[in-house]
Structure 1
Amino acid sequence: MRALTPIHQALTNYINPQSTEVVKENNSSHNGYINPEYRLERLCNIFGLSDFERSMLLLCAGMELDRSWSDLCAVVMDKESRDYPTFGLAHKVLDNFDWNGVTVDSPLRKWSLLEVGVARALMDAPLRIDEQIFHYILGNHCFNEKLIGIVKEQQTHDIPILVDSHQKIVLEIVTNWKQPSNRSQGIQLYGSEIASKRAIAQAVATNLQLKLYVLSANNIPSDPLELDRFLTMWERETLLGESILLLDCDDINIGDPNREHILKSSIESINSPLLISSTDRISTKQRSIITFEVYKPTSQEQHTIWENILSDQLTEATAAIDDLVSHFNLTAPEIKSAYTRALNADKIAREQKLLINEELTENNKLTKNQESEAQGEKDPLYPSFSLLWNSCRTQAQPKLDELGQRMTLKATWKDLVLNESQLQTLESIAAHIDQRIKVYQKWGFAGKGGRGLGISALFSGTSGTGKTMSAEVLANALNLDLYRIDLSTTVSKYIGETEKNLRRIFDAAEGAGAILLFDEADALFGKRSDVKDARDRYANMEVSYLLQRMEEYQGLAILTTNLRGSIDRAFLRRIRFIIEYRFPDASQRRKIWRRVFPKNTPTKDLDYIKLSRLNVAGSNIRNIALNAAFIAADLGEPVMMKHIKIATKSEYTKIDRTLTDSEIAGWV
């Protein structure tokens, strides 16, 4: 590197002032480097280095490239152990020495281009070129190690799939930032669509040919000195290799005043291109910020994404796409991920089937008919509709699993013992879910807005009368997940927290098309139309927010209550379906008893008419049947009336009721 020659010459001349020997450039130790002179000069221009500061940078770089320089340093300092560059050495050797270049505010130290070691005196402190700066000069740009663990690079090799509305946002940002004077203008992407916001940020970086780095707002240093250091290092990073910083504020607690102050201070201090991702708007006093609200893709946009992915089989896929879009509200990256998951599942299934076929063929056990059967019925869609459906269904499960209990679905229509009116209402609910896209979109009932299109239901009745089982049957029939949300734990005494909890639940559920079962609605609802204090006013706001989200939710939201009378009529009018679950009569209890024992359970001489005299709900009947089965199994006998009698006494004790003689008369 030619720029090192004058520094090497200065060291040699100091050691032997009488020498007339000219130091020759040694290229052997730095062959293959990419135009280091150009990058050195660019570095000096970026940070405004003086001639002295440039010489100091070269002095320390020479130490890394040629170990013989350490011997020269030791001779200059007249001490074998001091074989390293120092400001003191530079003061002796360099004609352009400048005390301004030694101060803490000098570019060398402000930007940490040189690392200053520990010593009693600053002039004696060991100096070392920063590793990133050294590699930069040699043509290898590496990430600043001081930022590792705080910011993370987001790979932007592939341009993500974007819907038209999101592509429009990208175009506006790119157009704005292509003007150099606008590069320091902050851009805020707000809304609950985290995946879509990430995709927009990635597309912006790809279009501008910049690297994208992500900083979680929770990782911003809270110590003022550490924060200042971080901001300086990040600015250095962007000066060396232009980058975009995506500040991820989606998980930050804005209610924390200290954290909020640090966040806003950071936003106003970062001078490089900055994207802010947040759930709500974040306002700042000084920095100019352009805001974009990012919505989920519309149904039509989702339809277009699926059509592009399945473009080679559109004839077969049209009906399937209608169903997928009707039930699952996914972003573009989520649709792509669901499709990839389905492809992988299909590949695994085909490989397993192939192994089985090969094994059977080798054993000469496969006839031609068996061979065609083993191939399975050919689905016109690839991957199959069922695989696509299940991939979409599981897309949002991780987020929902943190907020509610995903229920195991076993109950079917034949397990329900309800009157005709109740069954018809449940069937209507299923039809509303299944035929949404036809009625709302194709037949035009959606109109211009989406308000009031959500499907909501209220199941009221005493415990054990079939409310939860009905929800389970609907989910099973529609092949959707069912999540139980305990409203008693969702409701918070802190103002605003209940709405925040509900928003997280609905936002997570949107993509999965899951059925939400809000248990214990009495914890939130009540006759509060007469506002007596602030708490009543906020309670009404919480109820209104829940009903608003239920009306907007693409899936089915069910409320359960034991006391329908406690819910204000004004709230009831906003719920589409209401089913009253009454205590089962003797005829219904007889049906439940007939169905309660699985077909593999051995029974003997059970009198269902006598059993129906037990004045208990369906859940109690199931508890009694299960306990009786264990008692009989332990005795090595089939389930008989005597076992049920023992189990009944146990159940009555548990529910604090007295078992009358009339109820069990003639059992044994």
Structure 2
Amino acid sequence: MIDFHMYQQLHKDSPTFKRSYPNIDDLNCERMDSEMMDANEPPTAPHIYVFPNTILGYNLRSKKWVDLDVDLIQEVTWNKVSFEHLVLDTKTKDLITALVTNEVELERGADIIHGKGNGLIILLHGAPGTGKTFTAESVAELAERPLFQVTCGDMGTSPKEVEEYMNSILRLGRNWNCVVLLDEADTFLEHRTSKDVVRNALVSVFLRVLEYYDGILILTSNRVGSFDEAFKSRIQLALQYSPLTKAHRREIWKNFLSRLEDINESPTSSIANLTEPGSRKRKFAKSSDIDFDDIDRGIDDLAGFQLNGRQIRNVITTARQLATYKGERMMYHHLHHTIAVSNKFDNYLLELHDGLSDDQLARESGIR
């Protein structure tokens, strides 16, 4: 995100904004007039030479200001197709689309208190790997807004730290019209008790900050059973993500393979593009080294394995590395081999928990 005015507000004491020459106004130098600065056309020589080749921008993932190469800055291309790939029923997609579209178009809600209750807060709850984070990413693409993802582990542990961090993040998110994602917000959503004063303060701070946020805010949780009832009135839409069925898994496999085939059409793309945005890219061979027909014939067998979306992506990534190491095209048997090895750990945990799955354990303990 490029916003030099915001950078200046946040770094008022930076040497960047202090004059190097106390009497610079007395120097015999030319200044670019306002008409030239406001022009839509880029500057030409000799004026172009006074502009830097880098500009400060905020990295929404690392949450740091970094230098960006001006020549590499491009217009954002929004991926509207990602929302269509969500494994959700049509009615739910329609409701999300309606809420997000209206929130983008409307500047204020009907609340009589200015700045209070005007935002859209969505809760996504369910088991890990069922599509919660992908839903948030797709909502940002649908709204044509940047996604500002925050994990609650970044906020600190004291009420003061949490409030200061939340206010700073939401300030940036509101100024830049971001879709703010508070991932794994379970710690701040848990119900208050009379014995834990610190936790009560954390939850109260979180409630207050949410109450006055007027943008699009998405919370994810996999422990909704410990939810504090005060959050119910703050949340406009809550979506449950149930464990994936075989049909869901088949659709997820097909979506990943479809993305790989799209990558295959690009001469410079590799399987590394399947990984999370911002992750370290690996030097793999091109995705043309994948036998899509062979994998497609075994898609029903692959969907039969009890994997979530994140595990499916990891299986594809690992199987690709296995095939590359062997100098082979990735085929169904590479995927099956990877799943068989990975399942040994899952089977051990299943045996350790007397045959109960993670979801069953969570339900028995009342947290999901």
Under a length normalisation based on structure 2, what TM-score does the superposition of the two structures give? 0.64
Question: In the aligned structure 2, how far is the partner of 1:562 from the partner of 1:632?
Answer: 34
The structure 2 residue matched to 1:474, chosen from 131, 139, 142, is 139
1:514 counterpart letter in structure 2: C
The answer on 1:607 being equivalent to 2:302 is no
Between the aligned partners of 1:195 and 1:638, the Cα distance in structure 2 is 52
Residue 251 (structure 2) pairs with residue 591 (structure 1): yes
State the AA in 2 paired with 1:629. R
Q: Which of the residues 71, 93, 111 maps onto 1:423?
A: 93
Paired residue for 2:197?
534
C-alpha deviation, 1:511, in angstroms: 1.1
Shift of 1:425: 3.3
The equivalences for 1:150-189 within 5 A come to none
CA contact (8 A) 1:518 1:558 kept: yes
Decide whether aligned partners of structure 1 residues 482 and 618 sit closer, same or farther in structure 2, where only a CA change above 3 A counts: same
- Asked whether the 8 Å contact 1:604–1:638 carries over to 2, the reply is no
Q: Deviations along 1:271-325, whole A, 9 cap, x unmatched? A: xxxxxxxxxxxxxxxxxxxxxxxxxxxxxxxxxxxxxxxxxxxxxxxxxxxxxxx
Report the counterpart of residue 567 of structure 1 in structure 2: 227
% same residue = 24
Alignment partner for residue 167 of structure 2, among 503, 509, 517?
503
* Partner Cα separation in structure 2 for residue 631 and residue 197 of structure 1: 47
How far 1:478 sits from its partner (Å)? 2.3
**1:29-428 correspondence to structure 2 within 5 Å:** 347=42, 398=58, 403=63, 412-428=82-98
Q: Aligned to 1:496, what secondary structure does the other structure show?
A: helix
CA contact (8 A) 2:186 2:223 kept: yes
Contact 1:403 1:485 in 2 (8 A): no
Aligned residue number for residue 513 of structure 1: 177
Match of 1:621 among 282, 300, 312: 312
Q: Whole-Å Cα distance in 2 between the matches of residues 402 and 472 of structure 1?
A: 17
Deviations along 1:56-95, whole A, 9 cap, x unmatched?
xxxxxxxxxxxxxxxxxxxxxxxxxxxxxxxxxxxxxxxx
Larger relative contact order (CA 8 Å, sep ≥ 6): 2
> What is aligned with 1:463?
128
Give the count of matched residue pairs: 275
The answer to whether the Cα contact below 8 Å between 2:132 and 2:220 also exists between their aligned partners in 1 is: yes
Q: How much has 1:625 moved relative to structure 2?
A: 1.9
What code does the residue aligned with 2:305 have? L
Is the contact made by 2:58 and 2:64 (CA closer than 8 Å) also made in structure 1?
no
Match of 1:523 in 2: 187
* Residues 621 and 505 (structure 1), Cα distance of their counterparts in 2 relative to 1, 3 Å cut: same
Match in the other structure for 2:157:
492
Letter of the aligned partner of 2:225 in structure 1?
G
In the alignment, structure 2 segments of 5+ residues that lack a partner are 1-5, 15-21, 23-33, 46-54, 67-76, 265-289, 352-368
The verdict on how the C-alpha distance between 1:196 and 1:398 changes in structure 2, with shifts beyond 3 A counting, is closer
Secondary structure class of the residue paired with 1:523: helix
1:621 CA displacement: 1.2
Contact persistence 2:184–2:221 (CA under 8 A)? yes
SS in structure 2 of the partner of residue 604 of structure 1:
helix
Structure 1 spans left out of the alignment, 5+ residues: 1-192, 199-213, 217-236, 238-335, 352-394, 661-668
- Cα distance per residue 1:596-630 (max 9 Å; x no partner): 12113432333222221111111111111222233
1:457-510 deviation per Cα after TM superposition (whole angstroms, max 9, x unaligned):
1111111110111111111222221121111231323x4221111111112222
Residue identity matched to 2:173 = A
1:569, distance to aligned residue in structure 2 (A): 2.0
Find the aligned partners of 1:405 and 1:412 in 2 and give their Cα distance.
28
- Contact kept, 8 Å, 1:515 with 1:556, in 2: the verdict is yes
Distance in 1 (CA, whole Å) between partners of 2:309 and 2:239 is: 17
- Distance in 1 between the 2:65 and 2:291 partners? 33
- Cα offset, 1:655, TM superposition: 5.1
CA separation in 2, counterparts of 1:409 and 1:491?
33
Question: What is the letter of the counterpart of residue 331 of structure 2?
Answer: M
Q: Which has the larger radius of gyration?
A: 1
Give the drift of 1:636. 4.2
- Give me the TM-score of the superposition, normalised by structure 1: 0.37
- Distance of 2:10 and 2:304 partners within structure 1: 61
